[in-house]
Amino acid sequence: MTMRVRFAPSPTGALHIGGARTALYNWLLARHAGGSLVLRVEDTDRERSTPENVAQIVDALGWLELGWDEGPFSQAERRPRHREEIDRLLGEGHAYLDEGAVRLRVPDAGETVVEDVIRGEVSFPHEAIDDFVIARSDGSPLYNLAVAVDDRDMGITHVVRGADHLSNTPRQILILRALGAEPPVYAHLPLLHGPDGKKLSKRHGAASVQELREAGYLPEAVRNYIALLGWGYDESTEFFTTPELVERFSLERVSKSPAVFDEKKLRWMNGHYLRQLDAGDLQQRLERRLDRPVPEAAVRIAQEKMQTLDDFWSLAAFLVEPQPDDPAAWDKVMTAGAPERLRRAREALASAEPFDADAVEQALRRVVDDLGVKPRDVYQPVRVAISGRTVSPGIFESVAVLGRDETLARIDRALERAEISTSAEPDMG
RNA sequence: GGGGGCGUGGUCUAGUGGUUAGGACGCCGGCCUUUCAAGCCGGAGGACACGGGUUCGAUUCCCGUCGCCCCUACCA
């Protein structure tokens, strides 16, 4: 029997990183087994489900490059089908009316056992399960009923979802059995928690896929990172290409304990992916994102220090157009001796030939030697003069990319300012 | 309250009845006679939640306790 899995988000909000991970695991399983992934939108809560949220989820999956084979199906649209089964359950005595609502008859004794791939056998005593409602008094079907009917109708072989559904599973099995169907294989993934240990919610930083995208993360990095939230392959491998993930992922190795989303590690991993991109590709992604052309040379030298796409602008905007000074950077670097060192740097750069990173480096090192100062005493004023900040791509590369004319012009402007501020504060050194 | 799940350094994880408990992020320090969120090197940090067992020996098996989470809705 070929594997059929499903991703069944409820469109009551944006797709969270936890949902994204569930989608990824299902996708990996389907790809690995040559089976199918069904996208089913569980929108039977008409109060909270919105078309905008559905669109957002579809969009997020698209960005993550997690395609599906069938769907998206709307659970709400399958209501007539659910109704049929509810009537059948009623007719066969498996369910009964209670103040208009329909309740499933749950045996008083015994237990229902969930065979979970990740957690083993989990038993639920029937005494702890009430005759639960499967249809509202207006006739509309409820979650557990809809899920059970849909999973069976759609031929789902493996239900892979968050552990928050484990307690609902015996109810779904009870419905399935009353319908005369065999339950699928279940696998309940460990939940994702926020840094405070609580269930992940909007309050926990960049928790939605949209926010991750806006923050400048790469879909391939996000996939790699979330794959590792609840799963590990061996004792040291951290990076997996998507084909490797398809090949190596297995439910048996999924862990049981909840994980916490750590954006710091995602940043690190994203930086690694960013550095592997070829400059042209990165340039295209940046231009699409910033909606403006950016020079390839600037992309090339910024690449080695970026961790997110968003970092590009703060790191290299000065290469695209003049940037205002960061006052703190100015104060820190433009001390009493700075103007003299800047003047010497200007002089050396004026005659550097050709104006490339090597020549710039030689020129500036000569200034350092001649003055007998520390390298940073020369480099930092130059850096602040051209970029306005204490952080930038490599200084020699930055100067070379900026070009001689622009570099000299910016140093001149800095010199003017430095002289004004130095004479205004004669005591400063 | 009832039922269920989970518990390896701050975080993600590997692992086994006998290991110096491995890797990664983060953190700290050094190097790159330049900043740095990059790179390289080094370091601190865990007696594997706690208490009992079983065992020659338990992080690994059993029981209990505690903690956290989930379900217990005419939400999903």
Predicted confidence pLDDT, tens digits, chain A (429 residues): 799 999 999 998 899 999 999 999 999 999 999 999 999 999 987 777 889 999 999 999 999 999 999 989 999 999 999 999 999 999 999 999 999 999 999 999 999 999 999 999 999 999 999 999 999 999 999 999 999 999 999 999 999 999 999 999 999 999 999 999 999 999 999 999 877 666 666 555 558 999 999 999 999 999 999 999 999 998 889 999 999 999 999 999 999 999 999 999 999 999 999 999 999 999 999 999 999 999 999 999 999 899 999 999 989 999 988 888 888 888 888 887 888 899 999 999 998 888 888 889 989 988 888 888 888 889 989 999 999 988 889 999 999 999 999 999 999 998 888 766 555 444 443
**Distance between first and last Cα of chain A:** 81
Residue A96 is predicted with a pLDDT of: 97
* A199 is an active site residue: no
**Beta-sheet pairing, A70-74 with A36-41:** parallel
Element (H, E) at A70: strand A70-74
Asked if strand B comes closer than 7 Å to A251 Cβ, the answer is: no
Residues A96, A102 contacting (CB under 8 angstroms): yes
Distance between CA A23 and CA A40 in Å, rounded?
A: 11
What per-residue string of b and e applies to A178-213 under the rule 16 or more CB within 10 Å gives b? bbeeebbebbbbbbbbbeeeeebeeebebbbbbebb
Give the Å distances, CA to CA, from A332 to A232, A321, A323, A324, A425: 45, 23, 18, 16, 15
**What ipTM goes with this model?**
0.93
- Nucleotide with minimal C1' distance from the CA of A111 is B3
Distance between CA A81 and CA A401 in Å, rounded?
A: 66
Residues 317-356 of A with CB under 7 A from strand B: none
Residues A390, A429 contacting (CB under 8 angstroms): no
Residue A39 is predicted with a pLDDT of: 98
Residues 6+ apart with CB under 8 A from A214: none
> Rounded to 5 degrees, what are φ and ψ at A428?
-75, 40
The pTM of this model reads: 0.93
Asked if strand B comes closer than 7 Å to A390 Cβ, the answer is: yes
- Catalytic choice (A202, A256, A265, A332): A202
- CA A67 vs. chain centroid, Å, equals 17
